[in-house]
Chains A and B, each alone.
Chain A
Amino acid sequence: MEPTEQLRDRLILRFPGAKVTLVSNASPSAQHSLLVDPAHAREIATFLRDDEALRLDYCSNATGVDWPDCEITEPVKTKITEADGSEKEVEQETKRIEPGCLEVVYHLYSMARKQGPVVLRVRTANRMDQVTLPSLTPVWRSCEFQEREIFDLFGVVLAGHPDLRRILMWDEFKDHPMRKDYVEPDDYEWEPTPHGEVLAKAKKHYPAASASASATAAVASPAPKEEPKP
C-alpha cells in the first residue's frame, strides 16, 4: 500500500484542477486522510476504485462529522505610537470565527488487493445553505444506506443519490439530530389538530361545530378561500 503522501501527489498529477489535501492524523493509529474538493470527488472516487494498484472496491464506512463554527482567540502584537513619540508594542487578543462545515468521511478498502484503508473526506462550504455534496453511491453501492443516514442525521444533501430519503428518523421529522447544535423539541408528538387540509374538510362536513372551533384554529392556518359558484 503506497503512503498517503504519494497517493496525494499521484492524484494531483492525474487530476490537475482538483484540490487534494493531506489531513494528517496525530493519533497512534496514523490513519491519514485525503481531503478532496466536492467538484472532483466522484472522479477521484472512481479512479481510486478502478486504479490497478489500488483497486479500492469496497467502501466500508461512510459517515458524517459536524464541525460547528468555532471562535479562535489569537494574540496579535501591534505597535502603538504614544503621545511622546515612543513606540510601544502591545499584545492584543483578536477573535476570529473559523467557519464550520459538514464533513463526509469514507473508509475505503480493497477486497481484491486486501489492503487499506484510504480515508477520503469531502467538506461542504458551510453548515447552513450550501450543504450539497456529490453522492458516491454510483461508485460504491454500500454507500446507499449510509449516505441516507448522513442525509437524515446530519443534513448533508448528497446530489446524485438514487433514493435520498430519511432512513432512521420518520419522514415528517424536521432538523438533523447528529448536528452539534441540535436541540430536541419539547414534545415530539404535538400537532395542532385539525389544521390545513383537515380543517378545510372538517368545515365542509360540520359547519356548525367548526364555527366555534374556527376562532381558535384560525391562528394555526388561514381559512381556505371559498370558490365563487357559477
Chain B
Amino acid sequence: MIGPDSFELAGNGAFPAAAPGAHVRAVHDEFHGDLLEVSMGPHHPSTHGVFRMVATLDGETIVKLKPVFGYLHRNHEKLGENTTYLGSMPYTDRLDYLCSMTNNWAYALAVEKLAGLAVPERAEYIRIILAELTRLLNHTCLAGFLLQDCGASGTPLMYAFREREKILDLFESLSGSRMMCNYQRFGGCRVNPSAAWLTAARELTGSYGEFLDEYEALITGNEILMARTQGVGILSSQLAVSAGVTGPMLRASGVDYDLRKVDAYGFYSRFKFRVPLGAHGDVYDRYMVRMLEMRESIGILRLALMDIPEGPIMDPKAKLRGFRPKPGEAYGRIEGPKGEIGFYLISDGGPNPYRYRVRAPSFVNLTILEDLCLGHTVADSVIILGSIDIVLGEVDR
C-alpha cells in the first residue's frame, strides 16, 4: 500500500505546476531551518466549516499542504440508495446548504433524464428564476466571506447577509423554508408562485443592481483588497481543465465553459447573457468574475420574470408515489453557483436508485488547493481557500 508521505505533488513533474505569481515567495536554502507542520482546522473560523489544512511551513512559506476532510461525512450516497427517488430530494438540500434550489434542480434533471419526463414551460421559468436568485445569494455571500478572510471584519459580510436575507425571504414565502427548500419535483415544481411573489421578486431584482453598485464602490477598487488578492493563488487554464475545476473558478482562469451555454439545459438558450472570463486566474479575478456574473444573473432574472407564462407546473405523466423508472442510467448536470453539480443515477427498476452518486463541485475544485498555496504565506492560503468557495456539506457528503 502506498504510504501517507509518498506524494510529492510539486516536485515529481506528473502534473503541471501552478504558474508562479508575483507574490510567490522563494525558499532560500542558505536560511533553511527546520520545517514546521501546522494543522489549521478542523475548528478554525477561516476554513468555512470542519475542514483541516495540514501545512508544512518553511518560515512563513508553505512548502506542502494537505487538505483533510470527511469530518461531516454521513455517506449521503448510501442514504440515497436506501430511500426512494423522491426521498432523496430533501437530502440534496443539505449538500450545499447555501444553494438548495440548484441542488434540487440538478437532482430533478438527472431523474428526468433517467425516466424521460418533460417539464412544463412555466416550471422551467421558475427553475431559472430560482437558480439565478441562488447564484446571486451564493456570490454575494462569497464576496462577504472573502473580505472577512482578508481581515475586513464584519461590515462587508453583514452587508452581504442583509441582501441574502431578502432572497431567503422570497424562498421562504415560496417553499416554506429559508435554506432547506425541497422545492423541485421530477417533472416540475412543488408550489406555484403567486402573482404577489413574482412582484416581490421583480422588486428585489430591480434593486439588486443598486446594492451591487454600492458594494463594488466600497470594495472592488479597495487598495487593500487588491494588494492581498492580485497575483495570489494563480491557477493556469491548463491545470484548471485537467483538474476538472468548474464554475466561476474555471472561468476566472480564462476558460469559456459555462454549462448554461454548453448544455443549454432548461430554457437557457432563450436568454441572452454574457459569460465573464478572467485574464490572470488569481483570487482577484475569481472575485471579479463572480461580481460580473451577478450582473448577468440580474439580466436573466429581469427577462425571466417578465416573460414567465401561465400554465401547469407539473408534467401530467409524472407521479410522485410509486415512482419506478425503467432500468438504465443517467448523468445529469447543471451549472451551480460553485461549479458543475451532477447526479449519476443507476436504476434497476426498483423504487430506490441502485446507485446514487453526487458529483459535488467544491469537492473536485479542492483538488488544486495545494498547487495554489505553494510558495504563499499562511495568511494567503486562507484567502485562496475562500476564493475556491467550498461548502463542507457538499465536500464531505
Contacts and interface: CB of A to CB of B under 8 A. Distances in A.
Interface of A: 25-29, 31, 57-61, 63, 65, 105, 107, 111-112, 114, 117, 119, 138, 140-142, 144-146, 153, 161-171, 177-178
B4 A165 contact: yes
Given A111-B255, A169-B70, A27 B327 contact: yes
Contacts of A171: 4
Given A28-B114, A167-B70, 18 more contacts: A25-B330, A27-B327, A27-B329, A28-B115, A29-B116, A57-B241, A59-B244, A107-B344, A140-B242, A141-B15, A141-B239, A142-B244, A142-B367, A144-B367, A161-B2, A168-B396, A177-B78, A178-B75
B12 interface: yes
Interface stretch (B153-161, B184-192, B201-209, B358-366): B358-366
A57 to B, nearest CB: 5
A168 B329 CA distance: 25
B331 interface: yes
B342 interface: yes
A161 B2 CA distance: 9
Contact of B243 (A117, A142, A164): A142
Nearest to B261: A114
Contacts of A119: 331
Nearest to B77: A178
Interface in B322-371: 325-333, 340, 342, 344, 346-347, 355, 357, 359, 363-364, 366-368
B242 A57 contact: yes
Contacts of B7: 162-163
A95 to B, nearest CB: 20
A175 to B, nearest CB: 12
A26 B73 CA distance: 33
A60 B244 contact: yes
A163 B317 CA distance: 48
Nearest to A112: B241
Contacts of A161: 2
B328 A26 contact: yes
Contacts of A107: 331, 342, 344, 359
Chain A to chain B: the 6 pairs with minimum beta-carbon distance, closest first: A27-B328, A142-B244, A28-B116, A163-B7, A29-B330, A168-B70
